[in-house]
Amino acid sequence: MRLDVLTIFPEYLAALDVSLVGKAVKSGLLDIRLHDLRDWTHDRHRTVDDTPYGGGAGMVMRPEPWGEALDAVAPPDSPSQPRLIVPTPAGRPFTQELAYELAAEPWLAFACGRYEGIDARVASYAAERMRVDEVSIGDYVLNGGEVAVLVMVEAVARLLPGVIGNPESLAEESHSGDGLLEYPVYTKPPTWRGYDVPEVLLSGNHRLIAEWHHDESVRRTAERRPDLLAAWGDAVAGKDDPASEVRLLPAT
Ligand code: SAM
């Protein structure tokens, strides 16, 4: 998969050299290209922003460097175009489902905003030849799109075949598979500072362990994310398979 990131702070993306994403780059699974937006400015100060039309606080990113940068990274006459992701707190929410969708793309480009964001005409211009998604990583405001890109690239990259050592681990995770949160996990030693690992996990009984995992997932989801539990309940109730009946925990 090819990833182009357009930003005024390419150094912010240095973290992409580390850990599993870094390994994926080294092994050739990911081709990450960082671009400094200021390379497409033409004044002495390499200006990328200006005051907003209509007034208001802050500065807005000018469209000209963005247009030139997009044209250089993905020439308009080329039949192959990336899917462009524009991080913005005003975008559609980034979810695990969208991460899976993006992981199926051969080429993604990210346009990192700063200041009050990018002149809205840039997204319209790009949408003439590529799919454009404005995406929010959560209901809060960051200073720039770089951290949002790190979040999205990490979530997408780990879904690519070959990036995670054991792909089975993806199926059981929170926000994947059944949509429930993952159950709590434990490792050795069995007792640590007075805290014991739940006995069933030491039993070797796979059926009981699977039941415990499921019940803990439901309990956690009910406690922390009742919205997700409701969606899961609806999905299970809608299935014809009687084996997939909702199995709720007894009240404690
Ligand atoms: N004026 C914008 C608004 O109120 O919607 C906020 C601009 S923010 C200070 C600057 C940049 O940070 C945005 O253009 C975007 O690239 C990035 N950003 C901030 N919060 C974000 C979020 N929750 N998700 C994705 N990107 C975000």
At residue 241, the pLDDT reads 53
For the CA of 136, the nearest atom of ligand 1: 24
88 lines ligand 1 (CB under 6 A): yes
At residue 23, the pLDDT reads 97
Residue ranges of the chain whose pLDDT lies below 50: 242-252
CA–CA distances in Å: residue 205 to residues 102, 112, 188, 199, 210: 38, 50, 18, 11, 9
* Length reported for the chain: 252
52 lines ligand 1 (CB under 6 A): no
In our burial notation (b when 16+ CB lie closer than 10 A, e otherwise), range 151-174 reads bbbebbbbbbeebeeeeeeeeeeb
117 lines ligand 1 (CB under 6 A): yes
Q: Which of 86, 132, 142 to mutate to test the pocket of ligand 1 (most atoms within 8 A of CB)?
A: 142
**Residue 181 one-letter amino acid:** L
Compute the distance from residue 143 Cα to the ligand 1 centre, in Å: 6
At residue 245, the pLDDT reads 44
At residue 167, the pLDDT reads 84
At residue 11, the pLDDT reads 98
CA–CA distances in Å: residue 166 to residues 63, 82, 158, 201: 43, 29, 11, 21
141 lines ligand 1 (CB under 6 A): yes
Model confidence, pTM: 0.93
